[in-house]
Structures are given as C-alpha cells and as structure tokens.
Structure 1
Amino acid sequence: MATQVNPTRMELTRLKKRLVTAVRGHKLLKDKRDEMVRQFMLHIRRNHALRLEVEKALQGVSTRFAMAKAQMGALRISEALLYPARAAVYEVGMKNVMSVDVPTITFTGGEEATEIPYAFTFTSSSLDNAVVELSALLPKLLELAEVEKTCNLLADEIEKTRRRVNALEYVMIPEMQTNIKFITMKLAENERASTVRLMKAKDMMAAQEAKAQAERAAKRAAG
C-alpha cells in the first residue's frame, strides 16, 4: 500500500519504470490470451467435428458387430479375432502452440493396417466389414486424441494467463499507481513546506535587517 513505501524521488523513479514494464507486460499477456483463445476455439470446433464423425462411425461398427454376433455367435467371433493382427504404427511428437507444447500423433501404418488378420472361411461379411471399418477409423481416433489433449493443455494455459492478466490489471498496476500518486503528493507537500519555511526565513531576515537599520538610524540621530 501507499503508506508502506518510502516517499523519495528515487523510489518514485523506480515505481514509474516498474509501472511502464507492468503495463507493457499486461498488454502482451492480453494479446497472448486472446490469440490462445482463438486457437482454442479452432481446436474445439475441430474436436467437435471429429467426435461426431468418430461416434457415427463407431455406431456403424457396433451395428455390424451386433449383426455378426447374431450370425456367428460370440464364441466364433472371439476365435476369429484371436488371430494375430498387424501392429498399428504411429509417431508421437511435439509442436508449439503459443508457447504451449502440445502432442502430435501421426498414423504411419499404411494400407496394411486395414487388412483383415484372419481367414474368411468361417466369418460373416458383417464381421469383415466391421474389422475393416474399425481399422480405417484408427487414424481419426488418433487425431481426436491429439486434438482433445491440445484443447486441455490450451485451456490450462489460458486459465494461467487469465490469472496473470487479472493480477496485473486489478492488483499490481493499481497498487503501483496508488503508490506513485502517494509519493508525488508527499513530495509536493514537502516541497510546499520547504517553500513556506524559506519564505518565513526570508521574512525573518528582512525583519532583522529592518530592525538593524532602524537601530543604526536612531544612533546616528542621537549622535
């Protein structure tokens, strides 16, 4: 608070420099927050579109698996799906979005990932189509995981930046402005007090000089 600062010109200069830095930092943080919100909204829209697409595709896959179960029975489906499948190959990396490190997941399995790992002899077309569709859906699932994680990280960083912006806007900058005003008023008050003391000193000196002149004049008149 203003009452806790040392009202000197050096402190006033220091506070003014800090205020300039704080105002500049506040603007930069606000710009960063606004751009992060824009990026967040883009990823949210992409996340929504992907989720709808994936959920629709999964509903179709679930329907095909249900039809296959009715045609083949749960045991034969389990036996068919026990055959070794090809590995899903993907690369995980990182990218920077507004100073936030977010993951990137790139599917590199190629066409082999959509091949059926079992023989067609004792399986129904519903199961075959379900397996193919589910395999083809893997890149979208990986992209959805990437976008959702990005949204979560951006949301956390936006909240942190928002708290910093509010701390500067509502606490630090007003406090520094109050301290600067207090020191300025205190220095002006001290300057007025010094001026008053100087004027009184001049009046006293003028009065003493006038008294001395009057005494000298009285002595000359008496002599």
Structure 2
Amino acid sequence: MAKRRVSPNRMELMKLNNELRTARRGHRLLKDKRDGLMQKFLEILDETLAKRNESDLLLQKAADSMALASSVIDPEVLMQTMQLSTEPLQVHAETRSIMSVQVPVFTLPQLEAMKRRESELESDNRDDNPDRGTEEVSEDNTGSFLGYGMVQTTGDIDIAFDALTEALKPLLELATLEKTLQILAVELENTRRRVNSLEHVLIPELQQTIREIRMKMDENERDNLTRLMKVKDMLVEQEIEARRKADERSRLAEA
C-alpha cells in the first residue's frame, strides 16, 4: 500500500475525512450497482438460454424442411430459387439503458411489414378461392413474404423458407441478448474492480493516513504542552528569583 505524504495539520485532516466520506459513499453505490448488474445479468442469461433453445429448434426445423425439399427438387432449380427468394434485409441497431449501461437492441423493420404482406396475400387467396384447401400451394407466389415463385417447386421449399422466416425474430432477439450479456459482463467486471480498489486500497489507505495524522497531531500537542509547562516553570522560577532578590535588597536597605 502506497503511503501518502501529507502535512499533519487540521486542514489536511479535514480534507482527508471528506475524501474518506466520498470514497465510502462511492463504494456503497458501486456495490449496489454491482449487485444490480449481477441480478440483471443472471436474468438475461436465463432469457438467453431459453431463446437459444427456441432458435435451435426453429433452425433445426428449417434444416429438416430444406433437406426434404432438396431430396425432391432439382438441385439447379433449388439453387435458383434460393438465390432469388429473399429480398435484402437491413438490421437496425438501437440502444436501451440497463442500470446506466447502454446496450444494443437489434430490430428488423422489414420483418413485420413482410409478415403483414404475407398475411394479406394468404387472406386474399382464401377470399378468391374459398373452396381450395389450405394445404394446396399457389402456382404464383411472387408477391409473398419470401418473394419467389412456386411454379417449379413444391410445398416443401415453402415450408423450409417459412421456418427460416419464423426463426428470424428469435435469432435477432438472441443476438440482442448475447450482446447485452457481453456488455454487462465487461461492465460488471469493471465495477467489481472499482469496488475492490475502494474497499481494499483507497479506503484503508485513507484510514491509515488519517490515523497517522491524528497520532502526529496528538504528539505535537503533547510536545507543545510540555514546552508550555517548561516555559511556565521557567517564568515561575524567574518570578521567584526576582522576588528573592527584591527581598534581599529590601533587607540590605533596612540594614
């Protein structure tokens, strides 16, 4: 522990006492922040694990559907379909605050719009063809959410792309949660270090310095008191000596 070089006086003592109070208040606030961050971290960790399981299931469903489609569709046709199927997507990154820590929120503005468009198309198809079964595949799906035609494909590829679409939102939420965990972990570690620095370094150092100043001031006060008592004794002795000489002069004068 580094030792401070300070002057042992009341002004310095007052300054260090104020600094100690500030350090203790900061230590208390940082401990509260650390505990709050830890609680929030564990909550988000549980959410992340649940969201990861959900995403894994949806991706597995999409992979199984794609494998089934690959087994019944000409590979060249499937490749052309995949290349033309999806429109460009833009992920937006916004921010929110968790205990004064800024974390990202990933969103896909096109997702809801595309889902609404898909729902409207499905509704229009049902209205135009009320007698057709829900399992029958449209021969022209170029205006759907996926943006590809189904003239040369089967319903299996449609199911596969629907599964991928269904997985988009959970995947974005999972990315948000995992990035949030990374940021909170860094902030939690920094806060823990600051708490430990205050608790084990700064506060003990201030307490030790204050004790040393008080001891030095007490020692100086005792030295000053000793000097004052010596001066007082000297003055008393001088006064006694002066009176003795005055008495001697008086006796000599009377004689």
In structure 2, the gaps of 5 or more residues are 119-143
Which residue in 2 is equivalent to 1:157? 187
Instruction: Tell me, yes or no, if the aligned pair for 2:85 and 2:146 is still in contact at 8 Å.
Output: no
Q: Name the CA distance, whole Å, in 1 between partners of 2:181 and 2:175.
A: 10
Q: Name the CA distance, whole Å, in 2 between partners of 1:66 and 1:3.
A: 71
Which residue in 2 is equivalent to 1:122? 152
Q: Name the CA distance, whole Å, in 1 between partners of 2:193 and 2:245.
A: 76
Which residue in 2 is equivalent to 1:54? 55
Which residue in 1 is equivalent to 2:233? 203
Which residue in 2 is equivalent to 1:32? 33
TM-score by length of 1: 0.90
Q: Name the CA distance, whole Å, in 1 between partners of 2:91 and 2:247.
A: 112
Higher radius of gyration, 1 or 2? 2
Equivalent position amino acid for 2:46 in 1: R
Which residue in 1 is equivalent to 2:247? 217
Point out 4+ residue stretches in structure 1 off by more than 6 angstroms. none
Q: Does the alignment pair 1:174 with 2:200?
A: no
Which residue in 2 is equivalent to 1:17? 18
Which residue in 2 is equivalent to 1:137? 167
How much identity, in percent, do the aligned residues show? 37
Count of residue pairs brought into register by the alignment: 223
Q: Name the CA distance, whole Å, in 2 between partners of 1:73 and 1:221.
A: 144
Indicate how the Cα distance of structure 1 residues 127 and 10 shifts in structure 2: closer, same or farther if over 3 A, else same.
Answer: same
Secondary structure at the counterpart of residue 97 of structure 2: strand
Which residue in 1 is equivalent to 2:97? 96
- How many Å apart are 1:91 and its aligned residue? 4.2
Q: CA RMSD in A?
A: 2.0
- How many Å apart are 1:22 and its aligned residue? 1.1
Q: Name the CA distance, whole Å, in 2 between partners of 1:136 and 1:2.
A: 63
Equivalent position amino acid for 1:57 in 2: L
Instruction: Tell me, yes or no, if the aligned pair for 1:40 and 1:154 is still in contact at 8 Å.
Output: yes
Which residue in 2 is equivalent to 1:70? 71
